[in-house]
Structure 1
Amino acid sequence: MSRSRWLPNQHGAWAMLAVPFLAGTFLGHPRWVHLPLLAAWLLGYLAVYHAQQWLRLTRISRNPKAPRRHVRPALVFGSAGAVVGLALAVSHPWLLLTAACAAPFVAVNSLYAYANRERSLLNGVAAVIPACGMLLVALRLGGGSWGAGVAPALTCLLYFGGTVPYVKTMIRERNSAAYRRGSVAYHAAALVAASLLNPWLAAPFTLYLLRASLLPGRGLKVGVVGAVEVLCSLVLLGVVVGVF
């Protein structure tokens, strides 16, 4: 299999997986144990991705080889993730509870995959919530308290939740005025909510509101849209670590 068939080409997903995790790590005390946790997190994502693609293609594809190509990656990534995750759970049993908390969201994403509705707004939100929840897990593993992670996790949720409708206005729904209005309305509300969490957050969330207001309809290429989101994600990481 080619590398592209093993690793999904979803740049936004990688930012969503990495930023909350790194924020939680640096808000606490970075430890060596964060490395196997990161490995288990990424391996778990890859296993679930391929399993969901198998579900989707088994239902809609007439070519039996299409879903079959996801079986091997799902088994390899799933087995590796299970080994790393269970080794971590031996010394940190509470991690099993956090995995159980993520399970309902994975189930929702799997149902949407089976229905071939992965681009649904609700499906995107269901994916964002556990990703932002990893901030709490990484922070707790580094000696921080659950309470200290609530505000930064909500900050990540406000940003990444906004990327779901915003990216649609740039690509699949770029001609939809309703999506644009909804995206701008969300970002305006997110600006208010973030400012209530911490006044310093007004600056980056004003930036996010401006991008949601000004960039749709300008015909930007997908690569440029992705680059802007990477930059915004890095800004988020720096601000969250600096503010909290």
Structure 2
Amino acid sequence: MLTETTFPTETAKPRRRSLLPHEHGAWGQLAMPLLTALAIGRPTAAATLLTAAVVLAFIAHEPLLVALGQRGRRARAEDGARAVRWLLGLGGLAAATGLGGVLLAPPAARLALVLPAALAAAVAVLVRRRQEKTAIGEIVVAAALASAGWAVALAGGAAPAAALAALLAWILAFAAATLAVQVILVRVRSKGAADPGRRHAVIAALLAAAAGALSWAGLPVALALATLPTALFSIVICLVRFSPRRLRELGWALVGSSAVTLVILVAGLR
């Protein structure tokens, strides 16, 4: 008579926490301005090194949060040591590539690096106060990510007016997109009890008007045209009550509007 034999089973190992940035939108807020900067300029050694430094510093953001305990005590206890190793490695590479880029970059590009440095310091303060997820916090984070493209564009030989127009277009467009996302989140979390849609729609319209005014004042017209798609889409989201089930579709629509912004900027500023 056959009997069942019990074999020891291996205990499944817990899945290790990913130390890559979790915010998918932030990847786009970093990539789109950098792609614009490289497209309207040239991929010189300075521009390439500065781009590498920015990307490495961005990836180091998640290990920093884990090491500081911003992702919770459990994450720090389980992955804190690994996060520190990641942080040291990525930080070292970012410093090395950044230094190389600064040394090779023209003076205008070096001066432009003051803006992302200042905004990064502001983001650090917001993170420490746990305010980076507020509307103002999200806008500051988006501006910090977008501002890196300014120095990269100048390091690649882009015209100063074109580099500035690209910077302002991305900051204004991302600010408008953030307003729309915040409206959706408030509606979902409050189950419709709170709705800042009208207020945010007015602000998004003012952002588009600001882009138009800047172009009228002498900056390339591509600034106004590139800001318009995301600003208009933001206004629609703010004023129309979409079903929470369509959040994924709306997210992809915002990505599409950013892609249109990228095309307009490259075509108009190159």
- Taking the aligned partners of 1:173 and 1:112, their CA distance within structure 2 comes to 24
Unpaired segments ≥5 residues, structure 2: 1-13, 216-220
Matched, 1:38 2:51: yes
1:225 to 234, 242, 250: 250
Unpaired segments ≥5 residues, structure 1: none
Residue 36 of structure 2 corresponds to: 23
User: CA-to-partner distance for each residue in 1:34-67, whole Å, 9 max, x for gaps?
Assistant: 3333221110112234324433538x63775157
- Taking the aligned partners of 2:16 and 2:247, their CA distance within structure 1 comes to 21
Q: Is the 8 A contact 1:23 1:135 kept in 2?
A: yes
- Partner SS, residue 167 of structure 2: helix
2:104 to 91, 101, 107: 91
Shift of 1:3: 7.8
Q: Is the 8 A contact 1:40 1:82 kept in 2?
A: yes
Aligned pair in 2 of structure 1 residues 200, 86: CA closer, same or farther (>3 Å)?
closer
Alignment of 1:148-227 (within 5 A): 148-174=162-188, 175=192, 177-196=194-213, 197=215, 198=221, 200-201=225-226, 204=229, 205-214=231-240, 216-227=241-252
User: CA-to-partner distance for each residue in 1:180-203, whole Å, 9 max, x for gaps?
Assistant: 223211222123223332364575
Residue 145 of structure 2 corresponds to: 131
Q: Is the 8 A contact 1:191 1:209 kept in 2?
A: no
Aligned pair in 2 of structure 1 residues 116, 208: CA closer, same or farther (>3 Å)?
closer
- Partner SS, residue 245 of structure 2: coil
Alignment of 1:93-132 (within 5 A): 94=107, 97-132=111-146
Shift of 1:29: 3.0
Shift of 1:89: 2.5
Aligned pair in 2 of structure 1 residues 173, 56: CA closer, same or farther (>3 Å)?
farther
Aligned pair in 2 of structure 1 residues 43, 143: CA closer, same or farther (>3 Å)?
same
Alignment of 1:39-58 (within 5 A): 39-57=52-70
Higher relative contact order (CA 8 A, sep 6+): 1
Aligned pair in 2 of structure 1 residues 76, 226: CA closer, same or farther (>3 Å)?
farther
Aligned pair in 2 of structure 1 residues 26, 212: CA closer, same or farther (>3 Å)?
farther
User: CA-to-partner distance for each residue in 1:117-165, whole Å, 9 max, x for gaps?
Assistant: 2212222222122322223212211212323322232111111011222
Aligned pair in 2 of structure 1 residues 104, 31: CA closer, same or farther (>3 Å)?
closer
Aligned pair in 2 of structure 1 residues 202, 150: CA closer, same or farther (>3 Å)?
closer
Q: Is the 8 A contact 1:56 1:116 kept in 2?
A: no
Q: Is the 8 A contact 1:200 1:243 kept in 2?
A: no
Shift of 1:219: 1.2
- Taking the aligned partners of 2:156 and 2:227, their CA distance within structure 1 comes to 28
Question: Between Structure 1 and Structure 2, how many residues are aligned?
Answer: 242
Percent of aligned pairs with the same amino acid:
22
Structure that is richer in helix per residue:
1
| Two-structure CA RMSD over aligned residues (Å) | 2.9
- Taking the aligned partners of 1:188 and 1:202, their CA distance within structure 2 comes to 10
Corresponding letter in the other structure for 2:250: V
Q: Which has the larger radius of gyration?
A: 2
Shift of 1:2: 6.5
> After the TM superposition, which of the residue ranges 65-74 and 91-100 deviates more from structure 2?
91-100
> After the TM superposition, which of the residue ranges 39-48 and 144-153 deviates more from structure 2?
144-153
> After the TM superposition, which of the residue ranges 60-69 and 136-145 deviates more from structure 2?
60-69
Aligned pair in 2 of structure 1 residues 15, 64: CA closer, same or farther (>3 Å)?
closer
- Partner SS, residue 57 of structure 1: coil
- Partner SS, residue 6 of structure 1: coil
- Partner SS, residue 21 of structure 2: coil
Structure-1-length-normalised TM-score: 0.83
Q: Is the 8 A contact 1:57 1:66 kept in 2?
A: no
> After the TM superposition, which of the residue ranges 28-37 and 152-161 deviates more from structure 2?
28-37
